[in-house]
Amino acid sequence: MAERTPLLHYRLSTSVNESEPRCSPAGQALDQHPGSPRQRSVQQQPQPQRPKKLSTFFGVVIPTLLSMFSVVVFLRIGFVVGQSGLYQAIAMFLVAYLIISMTVLSVCAISTNGALDAGGAYYMISRALGPEFGGSIGIMFFLANVCGCALFVLGLVEAVVDTFGVPPDGTPAISHSQVLPSGYWWSLLYATVIGLLCLLVCLVGAHIYAKTTFIIFLVVIFVLLTIFISFFAVKPRVVSLPSAANSNSNGTGPVFPTTANFTGFKLDTLLGNLKADYTVDYTTGTMMTFATVFAVMFNGCTGIMAGSNMSGDLKNPSYSIPRGTITAVIFTFITYNLLCVLVACSCDRVLLQRDYSFLRDINVWNPFVTIGVYSSTLSAAMSNLIGASRILYALARDDLFGKVLSPAKKTSRSGNPWVSVLISWFLMQLVLFSGKLNTIASIVTIFFLLVYAAVDLACLALEWASAPNFRPTFRYFTWHTCILGIVGCAIMMFLINAIYASASIAFMLLLLLLIHYLSPTSSWGYISQALIFHQVRKYLLMLDVRKDHVKFWRPQVLLMVSNPRSSVGLITFINDIKKSGLYVLAHVQLGDLHKLPSDPLQSQYDSWLSLVDHLNIKAFVNLTLADSVRHGVQHLLFISGLGGMRPNTLVLGFYDDCLPRDKLTDQSLSTSQPTDTLDPSQDIEQQPPLFHFSPLRGSSDRQDYGEFGDGKVLGAQEYVAIIADAMKMLKNVVLARYFNNFDRAQVLSPPSTSPGMGAVYVDVWPVNLFRPDSSSYVDTCSLFLLQLACILNMVRAWRKATLRLFLCVEEGRSVRGSQEKLGQLLKELRIKAQVYPVPWDQQVALHWQRQGEWSKKHPSQSLNATEEKRKPKTDEEEESEDDYANSFPSNATRLSDDYLSAVNKLILDQALPPPAVRFLYLPRPPADTRRYASYLSQLELLTEDLGPTLLIHGVTPVITTDL
């Protein structure tokens, strides 16, 4: 109820620059934290120069194409066809592109559902799934891009060393171009130089990166054209295989050929390459399988987010990302499959299996392929570096990790986050110490797959939540495509490396918990709330009150709170007694909406919800406006809850003269800094209050439910009328007295200064003390008392408490028989309690003494009553015994104060050691409204000085002995 801002207004406020921030009813700006979209727009307004934006082609198509091609298109196409054959190769690409296509559809849907900011996939996930999931995935996506940048840099170094490096084993160089020294430290030096080149390009900004990648794109496309032309233009030839491909380390294995044939287009060559023939990989010495070949091939398909990472630098991200990404995916899919077919038709199986750089040997000019390899890897490295910096900048700007990432918010005048670029480059430099591409290839792919699965999950959650504001302009997706994407990514992760996949998921969950407990609350909107609403509505419709059964009964409490400042003890106690049932904190504000300019309740919801959070209770809040407290309580009893979740028990504070105490202020001060550390120059009154509740009344007022700070007081007559109304509506009623100073922690941890004093007791008196002529312990109301006491004893904090059940007996009656009967009932009800017989002959004698005095004044009425009592009871009269036992006696005026005081003393005398709380029987109010004041005064006299006490009246069966 606290969130009354329409979704449409929130949506517009995040995309339209307004002159003033949107404020809460308390006057606090909701969007002024550093991570909010509004704060960012305000901060960017005074900047004199706005960064230029990229088009679809330069910002999405080119980065995505180059990231997906990388080195696979030049160095691993022959490997895939040679090991798996043409059939399985095409099947692999179909499966891989099916997985990434499902993710692309999800990316397109989310990116067309609103304005995108910097951060790409992180921005999409965090705004859809909330800060916890978005932040954890954002960190992993950032690390994936950092490691991916290092991977491509190491790949480029390997290509350079293979072409220009001196053989490390001392063998003579084959060509004059092999002049560069080789080795681990030399390779690290080359990688560092290449990393510095990428850093310089990315520091200049997105535009110089776009221009650089465009040049590289032209080079790569030109090299691809020369490769396609070479298949037709180059004549059949014999190709020498690399020395590593035909060498045998132990000399005992088979001897591999030193040459292979480029046959040109021949049917025999195609037939020889159709089926799979998995052999040992000559570069690693391991036996290849479908899974290992698929893992290598899939590295060429993990660049679909390169365009999305540039979302903050695009002119129109919602337009460019779908069109550019789909274009790049279709182009690469066609290219890969065409190359597979051409390779299978023109190259021997031996050439494909033993020479991964064969495209260079069959090209019209060999250096073309080398240039293509260098260009594609350099472009992919820059793409990953600039993508990582944008993700880190978005994470820092959202303040999910506090001051740890605050330096990464800094940007240049053109809007380039240069500090984020430096941090990303530094981490990439650390990864370069791994030295080998294969060392980090698997974890990079798994990180990317995890992000893809998260994007699919975000889109699936938005679709399942049926949120009215989720209406993307891209509609070529369903929840089926999202599930296919999630399942496909999960299978691929564990197929590539089950250990890395499990470790990455565990790391993501650890980050999720860390952000959940440390990050501030965001105003992005949580998809969990939408999903919960969707499911709760569905299950509420299924919760049919006609199918309720007594064995599944639970208390659903409506607690009427006048002022929470004096009701903290009662609120926390009722939270224990609700037993996972519905718990509603209710309040009646006196007033007439017709005479008010606006609803005064809307400004109070935030304080009430803050109270629920502060006390750490599980409760709802329901406020109403009425002309009287009685009408307000009637409204709440009628309308509170939905479907089968409606309050069945009304709890009221007692009507007496006890002076209230502001326990809320005490708790607030105890959780803040000590008083001796406060600055004396700081005015305490100037500190903003935690809760905007009215101050408590003075000692001259009555403590009752009607205290609202507006001078209007609830009368005794109206108070009892509320009780009668609730019983008419078949609601159980509980009156709570002496809970003003109730401290749950202190009660449950009493000092054990003497034997038996350290235990916690709960006393139950399940007999109507207003009717000493009826000692029934098994009526509906008595069983309701037992049920509530048992429920309290089942709560973890109260589990060590001992139930003491007091059995009031008179001399001449079978005490043992009554005790055995009650013990058997407790056994059948599975309730553990200690039964104590309590003789109360003296108290009953006081009652009959007053009766005798009254009979002398009214002999005819007394005689009639005696005759009625002697008559044999019919079956109907036996059934009405419950009503007789729990009703307020017609001779209430004959209940003397001496009798009630004696019963009160009897209860006090049994309390050694004293209990934490008492449960007493509450009779019905009298039918004659003129006796309401007498009824209330007798309740007050009965419970005087008893400590925390609950007067309970139950109207519905709540216990069954059946299974």
Count of domains for the chain: 3
Least confident of 27-41, 474-488, 643-657, 831-845: 27-41
Residues 509 and 573 both lie in one domain: no
Of the candidates 565, 890, 910, the residue with the CA atom closest to the CA atom of residue 740: 565
Distance between CA atoms of 121 and 306, rounded to whole angstroms?
A: 10
> In terms of DSSP H, where are the helices of 404-526?
418-431, 437-465, 479-496, 498-518
Residues 351 and 397 both lie in one domain: yes
Find which of 325-334, 474-483, 599-608, 894-903 is predicted with most confidence, using mean pLDDT.
325-334
Q: Which structural domain, as residue segments, surrounds residue 813?
A: 743-850+892-962
How far, CA to CA in Å, does 625 sit from each of 292, 605, 631? Answer: 69, 13, 9
- The answer on pLDDT for 426 being more than 50 is yes
Which tokens hold the place of 951? 């007067």
The answer, yes or no, to whether the previous bond of 168 is cis (omega within 30 of 0) is: no
Which tokens hold the place of 754? 């003497």
Distance between CA atoms of 878 and 251, rounded to whole angstroms?
A: 104
CATH number at residue 275: 1.20.1740.10
Q: What is the pLDDT of residues 224-265, one digit of tens each?
A: 999 999 999 988 988 887 765 555 545 555 667 788 889 989
Which tokens hold the place of 382? 């820059």
Residues 418 and 476 both lie in one domain: yes
Distance between CA atoms of 806 and 225, rounded to whole angstroms?
A: 97
Write down the pLDDT at residue 3. 37
Distance between CA atoms of 594 and 905, rounded to whole angstroms?
A: 51
Write down the pLDDT at residue 851. 59
- Tokens 């069109």, located at residue: 323
Find which of 134-143, 349-358, 653-662, 945-954 is predicted with most confidence, using mean pLDDT.
945-954
- The 3-state secondary structure of 596-624, one letter per residue: CCCCCCCCCHHHHHHHHHHHCCCCEEEEE
Identify whether 632 is part of a domain. yes
CATH number at residue 638: 3.40.50.620
With beta carbons less than 8 A apart as the criterion, state whether 84 and 272 touch.
Answer: no
Identify whether 865 is part of a domain. no
With beta carbons less than 8 A apart as the criterion, state whether 54 and 206 touch.
Answer: yes
Least confident of 20-34, 310-324, 409-423: 20-34
Identify whether 161 is part of a domain. yes
Write down the pLDDT at residue 671. 40
Name the band, by pLDDT with cuts 50, 70 and 90, for residue 721.
Answer: very high
Q: What is the pLDDT of residues 620-642, one digit of tens each?
A: 999 999 999 999 999 999 988 88
Q: Parallel, antiparallel, or unpaired for β 583-590 and 259-262?
A: unpaired
Cβ atoms within 10 Å, residue 6: 9
Name the band, by pLDDT with cuts 50, 70 and 90, for residue 963.
Answer: very low
Write down the pLDDT at residue 226. 93
Name the band, by pLDDT with cuts 50, 70 and 90, for residue 58.
Answer: confident
Write down the pLDDT at residue 574. 93
Least confident of 501-515, 746-760, 948-962: 746-760
Q: What is the pLDDT of residues 951-962, one digit of tens each?
A: 999 988 877 655
Mean pLDDT of 66-76: 77
Last residue of a domain, one of 495, 518, 541: 518
Residues 718 and 837 both lie in one domain: no
Mean pLDDT of 509-533: 74
Q: Residue 898 — φ and ψ, nearest 5°?
A: -65, -40
Write down the pLDDT at residue 877. 45
Write down the pLDDT at residue 813. 63
Identify whether 532 is part of a domain. no
For all residues of the chain together, what is the average pLDDT? 78
Residues 294 and 387 both lie in one domain: yes
With beta carbons less than 8 A apart as the criterion, state whether 394 and 154 touch.
Answer: no
With beta carbons less than 8 A apart as the criterion, state whether 627 and 636 touch.
Answer: no
Which tokens hold the place of 215? 């040049």
- The answer on pLDDT for 8 being more than 50 is no
Mean pLDDT of 395-399: 83
With beta carbons less than 8 A apart as the criterion, state whether 105 and 325 touch.
Answer: no
Q: What is the pLDDT of residues 84-132, one digit of tens each?
A: 999 999 999 998 899 889 989 988 888 887 666 666 667 777 777 777 7
Distance between CA atoms of 82 and 275, rounded to whole angstroms?
A: 9
Name the band, by pLDDT with cuts 50, 70 and 90, for residue 684.
Answer: very low
Of the candidates 533, 959, 601, 942, the residue with the CA atom closest to the CA atom of residue 785: 959
Cβ atoms within 10 Å, residue 857: 8
- Tokens 């009298």, located at residue: 926
Least confident of 492-501, 607-616, 730-739, 891-900: 891-900
Distance between CA atoms of 325 and 546, rounded to whole angstroms?
A: 54
Least confident of 209-218, 236-245, 435-444, 782-791: 435-444
Least confident of 200-214, 382-396, 440-454, 792-806: 200-214
Distance between CA atoms of 906 and 899, rounded to whole angstroms?
A: 10
- The answer on pLDDT for 23 being more than 70 is no
Cβ atoms within 10 Å, residue 118: 23
Give the burial string for 454-469 (b: 16+ CB within 10 Å, else e). Answer: bbbbbbbbbbebebee
Identify whether 879 is part of a domain. no
Which tokens hold the place of 725? 């109304």
Distance between CA atoms of 116 and 53, rounded to whole angstroms?
A: 13
Residues 306 and 444 both lie in one domain: yes
Write down the pLDDT at residue 736. 94
Write down the pLDDT at residue 744. 85
SS3 of 549, please? Answer: coil
Mean pLDDT of 547-571: 86
Q: What is the pLDDT of residues 632-679, one digit of tens each?
A: 999 999 988 887 888 999 999 998 887 778 877 644 444 433 333 334
Write down the pLDDT at residue 679. 43
Residues 565 and 505 both lie in one domain: no
Identify residue 685 by its one-letter amino acid code. E
Distance between CA atoms of 888 and 635, rounded to whole angstroms?
A: 26
Of the candidates 131, 127, 397, 23, the residue with the CA atom closest to the CA atom of residue 32: 23
Q: What is the pLDDT of residues 609-618, one digit of tens each?
A: 989 988 889 8
Identify whether 36 is part of a domain. no
Q: What is the pLDDT of residues 876-895, one digit of tens each?
A: 444 444 554 555 555 455 67
Residues 838 and 716 both lie in one domain: no
Residues 843 and 722 both lie in one domain: no
Least confident of 206-215, 334-343, 348-357: 206-215
Query: Which residues 6+ apart lie within 8 Å of 857 measured at CB?
Result: none
Higher-scoring residue by pLDDT: 813, 46? 813
With beta carbons less than 8 A apart as the criterion, state whether 392 and 420 touch.
Answer: yes
Q: What is the pLDDT of residues 586-614, one digit of tens each?
A: 999 998 888 889 888 888 888 899 899 88
SS3 of 259, please? Answer: strand
**Helix and strand element counts for the chain (H, E):** 36, 12
Mean pLDDT of 729-742: 92
Percent of the chain with pLDDT over 70: 77
Write down the pLDDT at residue 621. 93
Write down the pLDDT at residue 344. 94
Which tokens hold the place of 341? 């077919």
Which tokens hold the place of 2? 């606290």
Distance between CA atoms of 388 and 209, rounded to whole angstroms?
A: 14
Geometric angle at alpha carbon 788, from 787 and 791, rounded to 5°: 85
Last residue of a domain, one of 698, 733, 768: 733
With beta carbons less than 8 A apart as the criterion, state whether 802 and 750 touch.
Answer: no
Q: What is the pLDDT of residues 281-305, one digit of tens each?
A: 877 678 888 888 887 788 777 778 7
- The answer on pLDDT for 763 being more than 70 is yes
Identify whether 868 is part of a domain. no
Distance between CA atoms of 35 and 13, rounded to whole angstroms?
A: 15
Find which of 32-36, 333-337, 696-700, 840-844 is predicted with most confidence, using mean pLDDT.
333-337
Identify whether 361 is part of a domain. yes
Residues 563 and 456 both lie in one domain: no
- Tokens 């564990």, located at residue: 494
How far, CA to CA in Å, does 690 sit from each of 606, 610, 684? Answer: 11, 8, 13
How far, CA to CA in Å, does 419 sit from each of 378, 411, 426? Answer: 22, 7, 11
Residues 561 and 501 both lie in one domain: no
Find which of 261-265, 734-738, 751-755 is predicted with most confidence, using mean pLDDT.
734-738
Name the band, by pLDDT with cuts 50, 70 and 90, for residue 172.
Answer: low
Residues 191 and 141 both lie in one domain: yes
Name the band, by pLDDT with cuts 50, 70 and 90, for residue 733.
Answer: very high
Least confident of 305-314, 618-627, 810-819: 810-819
For the chain, the distance separating the N- and C-terminal CA atoms, rounded to the nearest angstrom, is 39
